[in-house]
């Protein structure tokens, strides 16, 4: 099953994605649907006419997650290219909801950074409240998966030993297009990122060092995970910062981030003039 969040004039609606269109599940976003204990049956049993919706109306699949917890250095290929040893424990940092944009929204490069980098990622969406989860409980707590690009201001990230200031710039993190339930994602699904048609990242999610259930168990030991929380599982090799010379996103490019079995996000890139107002945010709705 695939779910998505659609923007209306003033709020959000949740839809089930079918081959011939979208089935309206009612007002609210995917995160609010997941807060209902019967969300699976509600989503699966809904019936009605198929809606035809412009893809640009798709919002971040969870527009306002309570938490966005990200994992660094979690693909063996990326760990190697960054010159680091395999970690014993997940490397965690956070984003905030203001960082999110929809799967087809333009990405406006902030004027304060000249080193915005791409990072294609598989994201886990939590479907039930969980704390100190064992493996079976962690697996059961996963509502599904989506796609995220952890666009990173490298020049700000490495100002200090802590990464937060490079990772949560407003309106720079596309999330979507769909949430797919775990049964629809193959364990070796291909993950990729292209820029203007050039493949810059390509691997499979089987290269993850810490898998989805491992991360839910580890993070839920620290704090309670709630329905709609998002875990970004890390990126694979091929980031711009690791290239010689480094490469970063430029005005006019188009980034396509794809995970097999979920879908793809298409992100036009533009440069904001200094002093330009911030772009519209999904948090301006609902």
Residues linked to residue 15 through DSSP beta bridges, in sequence order: 4, 24
Is the peptide bond prior to 245 cis by the omega test (within 30 degrees of 0)?
yes
From the centroid of its chain, how far is CA 186?
Answer: 18
Locate tokens 């309570």: which residue?
66
Distance CA 192, CA 199 (A): 7
Distance CA 176, CA 173 (A): 10
Locate tokens 């188009």: which residue?
254
Q: What is the pLDDT along the chain (286 residues), one digit of tens a residue?
A: 999 999 988 899 999 999 889 999 999 999 999 999 999 999 999 997 788 899 999 999 999 999 999 998 888 777 777 777 778 899 999 999 999 999 999 999 999 999 999 999 999 999 999 999 999 999 999 999 999 999 999 999 999 989 999 999 999 999 999 999 999 999 999 999 999 999 999 999 999 989 999 999 999 999 999 999 999 999 999 999 999 999 999 999 999 999 999 999 999 999 877 665 555 555 555 4
Identify the pLDDT of residue 280: 56
Identify the pLDDT of residue 283: 55
Is the separation of the CB atoms in 68 and 230 below 8 Å?
yes
Is the separation of the CB atoms in 122 and 151 below 8 Å?
no
* pTM greater than 0.85 (yes/no): yes
Burial call 15-40: b when 16+ CB within 10 Å, e when fewer? bbbeeeebbbbeebbbbbbbeeeebe
Torsion of the alpha carbons at 40, 46, 52 and 58, rounded to the nearest 10: -30
Identify the pLDDT of residue 276: 59
Distance CA 33, CA 13 (A): 10
* DSSP state, residue 50: E
Q: How many CB atoms lie within 10 A of CB 206?
A: 13
Identify the pLDDT of residue 285: 56
3-class SS at 79? helix
Residues linked to residue 100 through DSSP beta bridges, in sequence order: 173
3-class SS at 105? coil
DSSP string of 112-177, one letter each residue: T-S-EE--EEEEEEE-S-BSS--HHHHHHTEEEEEEEE--EEHHHHTTSS--HHHH--TT-EEEEE
Domains of the chain, earliest start first: 60-277 (3.90.850.10)
Q: Which of 93, 229, 269, 267 has its CA nearest to residue 168?
A: 93
Question: Which long-range contacts does 167-170 make (Cβ < 8 Å, 24+ apart)?
Answer: 167/70, 167/93, 167/94, 167/95, 167/99, 168/94, 168/95, 168/96, 168/98, 168/99, 169/99, 169/110, 169/113, 170/98, 170/99, 170/278, 170/281
Q: How many CB atoms lie within 10 A of CB 221?
A: 10
Identify the pLDDT of residue 88: 87
């Amino acid at each position: 099953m695939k779910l998505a969040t659609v923007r209306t004039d003033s709020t959000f609606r949740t839809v089930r994605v079918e081959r011939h269109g979208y089935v309206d599940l009612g007002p609210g976003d995917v995160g609010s649907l997941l807060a209902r204990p019967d969300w699976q049956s509600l989503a699966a049993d809904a019936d009605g006419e198929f809606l035809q919706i412009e893809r640009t109306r798709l919002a971040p699949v969870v527009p306002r997650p309570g938490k966005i917890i990200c994992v660094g250095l979690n693909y063996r290929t990326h760990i190697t290219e960054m010159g680091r040893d395999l970690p014993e424990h997940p490397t965690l940092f956070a984003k905030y909801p203001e960082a999110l944009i929809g799967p087809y929204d333009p990405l406006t490069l902030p004027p304060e950074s000249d080193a915005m980098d791409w990072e294609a990622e598989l994201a886990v969406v939590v479907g039930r409240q969980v704390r100190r989860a064992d493996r079976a409980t962690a697996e059961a707590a996963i509502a599904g998966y989506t796609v995220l690009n952890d666009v990173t201001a490298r020049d700000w990230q490495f100002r200090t030993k802590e990464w937060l200031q490079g990772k949560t710039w407003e309106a720079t993190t596309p999330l979507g297009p769909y949430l797919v339930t775990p049964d629809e994602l193959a364990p070796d699904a291909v993950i990729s990122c292209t820029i203007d048609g050039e493949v810059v990242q390509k691997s499979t999610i089987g290269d993850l060092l810490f898998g989805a259930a491992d991360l839910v168990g580890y993070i839920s030991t620290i704090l309670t995970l709630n329905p709609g929380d998002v875990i970004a599982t890390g990126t694979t090799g091929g980031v711009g910062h690791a290239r010689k010379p480094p490469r970063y996103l430029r005005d006019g490019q188009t980034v396509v981030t794809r995970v097999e079995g979920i879908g793809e996000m298409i992100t036009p890139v533009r440069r904001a003039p200094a002093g330009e107002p911030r772009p519209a945010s999904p948090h301006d709705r609902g």
